[in-house]
Structure 1
Amino acid sequence: MNIERTGPLAGIKVLDLTSVVMGPFATQILASLGAEVTKIESPEGDNLRHIGPMRHTGMGHMFLHANRGKRSLVLDLKQPDARGVALKLVDTHDVLISNVRPNALARLGLDYESLRERNPRLIHVSCCGFGQTGPYASKPAYDDLIQGAAGLPWLMTRYGIGEPCYVPTTLADRVTGLHAVYAVTAALYERERSGIGQAIVVPMFETMVQFVLGDHLGGLSFDPPEGDPGYARLLTANRRPYRTKDGYLCVLVYNDKHWRAFFAAINRSEQFERDSRFSSQTSRAQHIDEVYAELAEIMVTRTTSEWRELLDTADIPNMPMNSPYDLLDDPHLNAVEFIKQSEHPSEGRVLELGNPTTWSRSTCTDASPSPRLGEHSLSVLEELGYSADEIAALEASGATSLNR
């Protein structure tokens, strides 16, 4: 099956040995930008296939949202014949991206050192838990573990929640996945100049430590320290959606212009000049708990719609506190057609999330539906030159499976 692809990465071929969230999120972005992505799955399939809700076995909702635009090839890489297929694919691909632990990938003979002579132009991207020169190199890693190790649950306790907790989204997986995307695109650019590929390691731990400490290293940024860690504005318990008379509203009164306009809008213009806690960015930062606590007391005096009208008129940033239900009816998302209905060949009518970026010239075509397990095994093997008898033998041995 050959699909004509358009977009900035059209013509780039990506061999995808990823599963769950981090890697598939990255490779779906590459596919949405026009790359041809062939996903190698075990006979059991990506674990994400089996997380419900779902309409049919192996087609869970998160899998559908992370694997559009890809082809699914089943290979049991523990078998030599299946590894032989993978090596043939390496010969013709620009990028191999994996979130298999590096030592396990080396045992399969799919590490960079084993492949560089076979395909000197190959860009080999290893998404893993930790940088490979430190003592954690071989440790397993999952989103929860990395969130904890990078300090997010500790920050949540500082924020006013009693018990440590994780951010309720696969934050570490998705942030690291974005790092993998820019690593691939930058490596492709570099290869245009050098003519050769290279190995890239994208570690979750270091990625999230950079993400967290960029905000919260605080006084520890200096030697000797100039105070404790933490960015006070982000950690105050009063930084949250504000209760109104009839609901909640997200408001950020941030700079001097905003605060002047806010006090003028509520007929308290003199407070900005007279109350030193509010009169400068430095003073507000020093008294952020009190500043946000007073704002919370003020917000409860009007309804959400009254506040939105008043704040919009004063050009003060505000947004509704949406639920997933609300997002499906959001006027902006509907106007830009970010969430679309489509007809999946096996799953029926489903919702698809769009590509957040738009391109004036390198327009991308709509991605194909997320594949059934092994949906493209036959076509990929035929493209590699395997005969009908050879394909039948691979299927009979369990090296592959064909979803006809």
Structure 2
Amino acid sequence: MKAPLDGIRIIDLTAMISGPLATMMLADQGAEVIKVENPAGGDFTRFAANRQGGVSASFINNNRNKKSIALNLKEPAGREALLKLVATADVFVQNFRPGVIERMGLGEDELRKVAPNLIMVSISGFGDTGPYAQRPVYDPLIQGLSGLATVQAGSDERRPQLVRTILPDKLTGVTAAQAITAALFARERSGEGQHVRLSMLDTIIAFLWSSDMGSQTFVQGDVAQQEAASFQDLIYQTASGHITIAVQNDREWQALIRALNRPEWAADPRFLTAELRQENIDARLALIQSVIQTDSAEHWLARLEEEQVPCAPVLTRTEMLDHPQVQANELLNNYRHPKGGLVRQARGAARFSASPRQPWQGAPELGQHSRGLLLECGYSGDDVQAMIDAGTIAAPDQRPE
């Protein structure tokens, strides 16, 4: 069978991480994603650090399986070419600041003139309206404004901390990909397209609500200040490294007591119930740490596994690559990028039983598919060459594709 999104064409005007990650996920699932870039340099991440063969890891990791067309959208001919592509598309995705796409002459009204049933997707930082709508946005700003940095600190009274990965950017990409497939499904039923709008701020606040906003859930009465769950995390230092242990219920607590050979903890009044163990979490974690540090990670993991206590080693990023479970999942794949050389990447997390895995195509060179895509739209070879000569498009390979 074909890939789940085979036959879906997506016009992608996004840059950086959130939008490109969303469209790469869809490209991995079979959609034809046409990345539209400025001939003057393209997506900013092409020039990010950690480069090999002139290609950055960031660009490779967010743009595989895509085609690239380089169009100068400030020129009427460039906008006309884009509209010809939109007329053949199912989805149009952009992540400019609110209002920019309209000022470019590529707002929803203009797009629907050529593609009435188009699904248009607008990704913003803070939202379409409001006092922050026109502000520049980066991941740390969203972590701060959303409350995520305070959640990460463990208490409202402690110094806020950033999550050490760009969670708002990446989670917005995942959310956008899910919303696009939902809109495509709705169009299959109704025959009508729609405009999907989402922001990084909305994404993170919605994400936090399922587990971190309990004290803000009940509206009536005063909202108590968020108290600290614990000033320690669930990472334990052993004599030879670090491990993590997570114990949630009475059965697991009793199993932990057996694994650590501390029967006296079963009668400790601080730990008799799950509620009491939570109230006395710092004391409980300190006791566990005092025992865990007396022997090696290998010793404790074996004992914990024997008693069926949820546990795992804490690995570095490099160590993770060779862990037996990661290997068993066949998650990591090596392939050769035409410029970057041998590349290692993680496949999409979802696997489809009825869809065979397709070979990956490396992230495209800037404008790599310009000529072929415009020829498909009805431009003649001379027309395309004239646009190249005028700087309206960039096409590094001058031969027809």
Q: TM-score scaled to structure 1, two decimals?
A: 0.93
SS in 2 for 1:117: helix
Structure 2 residue corresponding to 1:338, chosen from 324, 331, 350: 331
Residue in 1 that maps onto 2:248: 254
Structure 2 residue corresponding to 1:46, chosen from 25, 28, 43: 43
Mapped contact 2:156–2:226 kept (Cα < 8 A): no
Write the distance in 1 (CA, Å) between the matches of 2:53 and 2:4.
34
**May I ask how many residue pairs the two structures share in their alignment?**
395
Write the distance in 1 (CA, Å) between the matches of 2:239 and 2:381.
70
* RMSD, aligned α-carbons: 1.9
1:196-255 CA-partner distances (Å, limit 9, x unpaired): 10001011111111223433323232221363225x44xx22114101112111111221
Q: Which moved more, 1:393-402 or 1:64-73?
A: 393-402
Taking the TM superposition and a 5 Å limit, the aligned residue runs for 1:219-238 are: 219-222=215-218, 223-225=220-222, 227-229=224-226, 232-233=228-229, 236-238=230-232
- TM superposition shift of 1:356: 1.1
Write the distance in 1 (CA, Å) between the matches of 2:42 and 2:127.
27
The residue type equivalent to 1:360 in the other structure is: S
Alpha carbons of structure 1 residues 135 and 113: separation in structure 2 relative to 1, 3 Å: farther
Write the distance in 1 (CA, Å) between the matches of 2:269 and 2:5.
54
Taking the TM superposition and a 5 Å limit, the aligned residue runs for 1:74-89 are: 74-89=70-85
Residue in 1 that maps onto 2:391: 398
The residue type equivalent to 1:308 in the other structure is: L
Residue in 2 that maps onto 1:124: 120
1:163-193 CA-partner distances (Å, limit 9, x unpaired): 5442221110011111101110000010011
Mapped contact 1:245–1:303 kept (Cα < 8 A): yes
Write the distance in 1 (CA, Å) between the matches of 2:8 and 2:217.
41
- TM superposition shift of 1:270: 4.5
The residue type equivalent to 2:58 in the other structure is: M
Residue in 2 that maps onto 1:169: 165
Write the distance in 1 (CA, Å) between the matches of 2:176 and 2:244.
32
Asked if residue 102 in structure 1 is aligned to residue 95 in structure 2, the reply is no
SS in 2 for 1:106: helix
- TM superposition shift of 1:64: 0.7
- TM superposition shift of 1:367: 2.6
1:231-286 CA-partner distances (Å, limit 9, x unpaired): x44xx2211410111211111122111101111223333522x1232222211222
Mapped contact 1:6–1:365 kept (Cα < 8 A): no
Write the distance in 2 (CA, Å) between the matches of 1:309 and 1:161.
38
Write the distance in 2 (CA, Å) between the matches of 1:160 and 1:298.
30
Residue in 2 that maps onto 1:376: 369
Residue in 2 that maps onto 1:271: 265
5+ residue gaps, structure 1: none
Asked if residue 201 in structure 1 is aligned to residue 200 in structure 2, the reply is no
Write the distance in 1 (CA, Å) between the matches of 2:23 and 2:387.
27
Write the distance in 2 (CA, Å) between the matches of 1:92 and 1:276.
69
SS in 2 for 1:132: coil
Taking the TM superposition and a 5 Å limit, the aligned residue runs for 1:327-366 are: 327-366=320-359
Residue in 2 that maps onto 1:239: 233
Q: Which moved more, 1:150-159 or 1:71-80?
A: 150-159
Write the distance in 1 (CA, Å) between the matches of 2:264 and 2:140.
48
SS in 2 for 1:202: strand
- TM superposition shift of 1:138: 2.5
Q: TM-score scaled to structure 2, two decimals?
A: 0.93
- Identity between Structure 1 and Structure 2 (%): 36
Write the distance in 1 (CA, Å) between the matches of 2:72 and 2:361.
25
Write the distance in 1 (CA, Å) between the matches of 2:237 and 2:370.
54
Write the distance in 1 (CA, Å) between the matches of 2:149 and 2:156.
11
Mapped contact 1:284–1:291 kept (Cα < 8 A): yes
SS in 2 for 1:352: strand
Mapped contact 1:23–1:97 kept (Cα < 8 A): yes
Q: Which moved more, 1:13-22 or 1:129-138?
A: 129-138
Mapped contact 1:6–1:364 kept (Cα < 8 A): no
- TM superposition shift of 1:154: 2.7
Mapped contact 2:78–2:393 kept (Cα < 8 A): yes
Alpha carbons of structure 1 residues 161 and 346: separation in structure 2 relative to 1, 3 Å: farther
Structure 2 residue corresponding to 1:25, chosen from 18, 21, 32: 21
Mapped contact 1:263–1:271 kept (Cα < 8 A): yes
Residue in 2 that maps onto 1:295: 288
Structure 2 residue corresponding to 1:308, chosen from 288, 301, 325: 301
SS in 2 for 1:18: coil
Mapped contact 1:242–1:250 kept (Cα < 8 A): yes
Mapped contact 1:102–1:111 kept (Cα < 8 A): no
SS in 2 for 1:148: helix
Write the distance in 1 (CA, Å) between the matches of 2:148 and 2:279.
23
Residue in 1 that maps onto 2:274: 281
Taking the TM superposition and a 5 Å limit, the aligned residue runs for 1:112-191 are: 112-158=108-154, 164-191=160-187
- Structure 1 ranges of 4+ moved more than 3 A: 155-165
The residue type equivalent to 2:196 in the other structure is: I
Write the distance in 1 (CA, Å) between the matches of 2:285 and 2:264.
18
Write the distance in 1 (CA, Å) between the matches of 2:159 and 2:223.
28
Write the distance in 2 (CA, Å) between the matches of 1:362 and 1:329.
27
Mapped contact 2:236–2:243 kept (Cα < 8 A): yes
1:360-390 CA-partner distances (Å, limit 9, x unpaired): 1133413311111111111111111111111
Write the distance in 1 (CA, Å) between the matches of 2:304 and 2:321.
24
Structure 2 residue corresponding to 1:192, chosen from 172, 188, 194: 188
5+ residue gaps, structure 2: none
- TM superposition shift of 1:348: 1.5
Write the distance in 2 (CA, Å) between the matches of 1:81 and 1:177.
31
